[in-house]
A = this chain, B = another copy of it.
Amino acid sequence: MRTSLCDQLGIEHPIFGFTPSEHVAAAISRAGGLGVLGCVRFNDAEDLDRALTWMDDNTDGKPYGVDIVMPATVPKEGTQVDLAELIPQSHKEFVQQTLLKLGVPPLPDGEGGEGVLGWLHSVARSHVDIALEHPIRLIANALGSPPTDVIERVHAAGVPVAALAGKAEHARRHVQNGVDIVVAQGYEAGGHTGEVATMVLVPEIVDAVDVPVLAAGGIGSGRQAAAAMALGASGVWMGSYWLTTAEYTQSPLTQKALLAATSSDTVRTRIYTGKPARLLKTRWTEAWSAPGAPEPLPMPLQNLLVSEAHLRIARSDDPSVVSMPVGQVVGRMNEVRPVADVMADLLREFGETVERLTKLSR
């Protein structure tokens, strides 16, 4: 499973693994893929610096990348306090009442927390600054093309830029802005997604742009990777599937909920960030779609609104309320295995699949 991206990025297999865990990212890189560390959870640039330093020490010199969350246009965002004033009181009350109904305990005294700030433009820029001080081989942006000055800075450091797209017209725009690799993110993917499914979206974007395209959405096996490559992708971008690897130790509660879920147990909703994103369907997401629930707020307000709730949910011990982005491939995530085993199985099944296709095309 080699494409030109392997040579360009110095990787063995064109398997891109997006993950919020530096342990998972490092394991993906060690296994011959490109581990891509999600930066959004790092409010403090120094924490990201420490995580990347750890990766430098634990990737055996193999390449890795980072993923940021940055809109193409700089929003007027102000400080967190200013923004919080834009959140309607009725929304805050809905969140508090819902947590009460769901039995999610308050945070222990003295613990608070500012929630996840990586959605703010200024914080995402600090992620780029820190990342460029490390030997990263890719910066991906979950919200499409970053601002062109950011692209230029990253390019000046000799690092290519990848951007997610859910429509062919977005992919075209990203490439016009200077993006080097497009991640075609299908409807079935976890996190931010559009309406067009991977089967339709990937060939459409491959035909629309003249840069390598990674297929994202619905990929967790060698058969699915082979399907993605058949559609014309130059590699696969997998996010959800690593959440049930042994190296993902950030949230045993989430892992438990994911292991039990079927492919029908996800929902595309704006409640996580204000933009449509696919999440595990839980009592938390159901509460937001019940009659009388408020409309989610726009980005970045919605994430500020629910950030304390996310902390409380994460600290609770009830898998039926977790708030977690994940794709429909969650239905295949039924056991905890080391990253290296996941990768080896995927590559083996990919080879078998191509062999099977070769036979039936004779």
Contacts and interface: CB of A to CB of B under 8 A. Distances in A.
A223 interface: yes
A2 B187 contact: no
B196 A264 contact: yes
A190 B209 CA distance: 27
B196 A328 contact: yes
A48 to B, nearest CB: 32
Q: How many copies does the complex hold?
A: 2
A354 interface: yes
A269 B61 CA distance: 51
A33 to B, nearest CB: 15
A200 interface: yes
Interface stretch (A19-27, A118-126, A214-222, A249-257): A214-222
Interface in A168-205: 168, 186-188, 194-201, 203-204
B199 A357 contact: no
A3 B359 CA distance: 10
Contact of A217 (B194, B199, B229, B351): B199
A98 interface: no
Contacts of A223: 203, 230-232
B353 A230 contact: yes
A228 interface: yes
A102 interface: no
Given A187-B188, A196-B188, A357 B203 contact: no
A191 to B, nearest CB: 15
Residue of A197, A198, A224, A362 with most chain B CB atoms under a 10 A cut-off: A197
A197 B198 contact: yes
A357 B198 CA distance: 18
Given A199-B227, A263-B204, A264-B196, A350 B354 contact: no
Interface in A333-362: 350-351, 353-354, 357-358, 360-362
Given A354-B361, A361-B351, A200 B231 contact: no
Contact of A329 (B200, B328, B350): B200
Contacts of A201: 263
A119 to B, nearest CB: 25
B263 A196 contact: yes
A196 B186 CA distance: 12
A45 interface: no
A167 B201 CA distance: 22
A332 interface: yes
A1 interface: yes
Given A3-B360, A195-B264, A354-B361, A200 B188 contact: yes
B203 A224 contact: yes
A332 B231 CA distance: 13
A331 interface: yes
A226 interface: yes
Interface string A223-247: 1101111111000000000000000
A217 B201 CA distance: 12
A164 B351 CA distance: 30
A231 to B, nearest CB: 5
7 contacts: A1-B360, A167-B264, A168-B331, A197-B198, A197-B218, A204-B331, A354-B354
Given A188-B196, A200-B224, 4 more contacts: A2-B360, A2-B362, A186-B199, A203-B332
